[in-house]
Amino acid sequence: MFGGLCWTVNTHMAVGAGDDDLMVHVGKDGVDGALEHGARPATMGQRTMGGVVLVAAADLPDAEALEAWVGPAVERALAKSPKKPKKPKK
Protein backbone atom coordinates (compact mmCIF):
# COMPACT_ATOMS: atom_id res chain seq x y z
CA MET A 1 0.00 0.00 0.00
CA PHE A 2 2.73 2.49 0.90
CA GLY A 3 5.86 0.67 -0.21
CA GLY A 4 7.01 -0.61 3.16
CA LEU A 5 6.26 -3.07 5.94
CA CYS A 6 3.32 -2.76 8.29
CA TRP A 7 2.79 -4.47 11.63
CA THR A 8 -0.70 -5.10 12.85
CA VAL A 9 -1.69 -5.92 16.40
CA ASN A 10 -5.08 -7.40 17.18
CA THR A 11 -5.99 -6.86 13.47
CA HIS A 12 -5.22 -3.10 13.66
CA MET A 13 -2.28 -1.27 12.14
CA ALA A 14 0.18 -0.19 14.83
CA VAL A 15 3.36 0.79 13.01
CA GLY A 16 4.97 0.56 9.62
CA ALA A 17 8.41 1.14 8.17
CA GLY A 18 9.33 2.48 4.78
CA ASP A 19 12.23 4.42 3.32
CA ASP A 20 13.77 6.20 6.31
CA ASP A 21 10.61 6.66 8.37
CA LEU A 22 8.60 4.92 11.03
CA MET A 23 4.86 5.20 10.36
CA VAL A 24 2.93 5.30 13.63
CA HIS A 25 -0.81 5.08 14.19
CA VAL A 26 -1.44 7.62 16.94
CA GLY A 27 -5.17 8.11 16.37
CA LYS A 28 -6.79 11.37 15.36
CA ASP A 29 -6.62 12.56 18.97
CA GLY A 30 -2.87 11.91 19.11
CA VAL A 31 -1.69 13.71 15.98
CA ASP A 32 -1.14 17.14 17.55
CA GLY A 33 0.92 15.70 20.39
CA ALA A 34 2.96 13.59 18.00
CA LEU A 35 3.69 16.61 15.80
CA GLU A 36 4.86 18.49 18.89
CA HIS A 37 7.33 15.64 19.54
CA GLY A 38 8.94 15.83 16.11
CA ALA A 39 6.71 13.68 13.92
CA ARG A 40 5.28 14.94 10.65
CA PRO A 41 1.96 14.18 8.96
CA ALA A 42 1.81 11.00 6.88
CA THR A 43 0.65 11.58 3.34
CA MET A 44 -0.12 9.36 0.38
CA GLY A 45 -0.04 11.50 -2.73
CA GLN A 46 -2.05 14.61 -1.90
CA ARG A 47 -4.01 12.96 0.95
CA THR A 48 -3.04 13.25 4.61
CA MET A 49 -3.63 9.98 6.44
CA GLY A 50 -5.86 10.56 9.47
CA GLY A 51 -4.38 9.49 12.77
CA VAL A 52 -1.02 8.47 11.28
CA VAL A 53 2.32 10.25 11.51
CA LEU A 54 5.86 9.68 10.27
CA VAL A 55 8.93 9.73 12.49
CA ALA A 56 12.31 10.08 10.77
CA ALA A 57 14.82 7.30 11.44
CA ALA A 58 17.28 9.99 12.51
CA ASP A 59 14.91 10.84 15.36
CA LEU A 60 15.08 7.24 16.67
CA PRO A 61 18.67 7.01 17.91
CA ASP A 62 18.12 4.10 20.32
CA ALA A 63 15.71 1.43 21.52
CA GLU A 64 14.24 3.76 24.13
CA ALA A 65 13.27 6.34 21.51
CA LEU A 66 11.76 3.62 19.32
CA GLU A 67 9.79 2.18 22.23
CA ALA A 68 8.38 5.63 23.01
CA TRP A 69 6.59 5.54 19.64
CA VAL A 70 5.91 1.82 19.19
CA GLY A 71 4.66 1.07 22.72
CA PRO A 72 1.69 3.46 22.67
CA ALA A 73 0.77 2.39 19.12
CA VAL A 74 0.67 -1.25 20.21
CA GLU A 75 -1.37 -0.36 23.32
CA ARG A 76 -3.83 1.58 21.13
CA ALA A 77 -4.27 -1.43 18.83
CA LEU A 78 -4.71 -3.83 21.75
CA ALA A 79 -7.41 -1.62 23.28
CA LYS A 80 -9.65 -2.09 20.23
CA SER A 81 -11.79 -5.11 19.50
CA PRO A 82 -10.46 -7.24 16.64
CA LYS A 83 -11.94 -6.51 13.25
CA LYS A 84 -14.35 -9.09 11.90
CA PRO A 85 -13.02 -11.05 8.92
CA LYS A 86 -14.20 -9.80 5.54
CA LYS A 87 -16.28 -12.11 3.43
CA PRO A 88 -14.36 -13.45 0.44
CA LYS A 89 -15.13 -11.86 -2.92
CA LYS A 90 -16.82 -14.13 -5.42
* Segment 64-79, tens digit of pLDDT: 999 999 999 999 999 9
Question: Domain residue spans in the chain?
Answer: 26-80
Q: Identify the three-state secondary structure at position 26.
A: coil
Q: Identify the three-state secondary structure at position 69.
A: helix
Looking at residue 37, its pLDDT comes to 96
Given a contact cutoff of 8 angstroms between Cβ atoms, the answer to whether 72 and 9 are in contact is no
Exposure on the CB side of residue 47, measured as CA atoms within 13 A? 6
Looking at residue 2, its pLDDT comes to 60
Over residues 48-60, the pLDDT tens digits come to: 999 999 999 999 9
Over residues 11-65, the pLDDT tens digits come to: 999 999 988 999 999 999 999 999 999 999 999 889 999 999 999 999 999 999 9
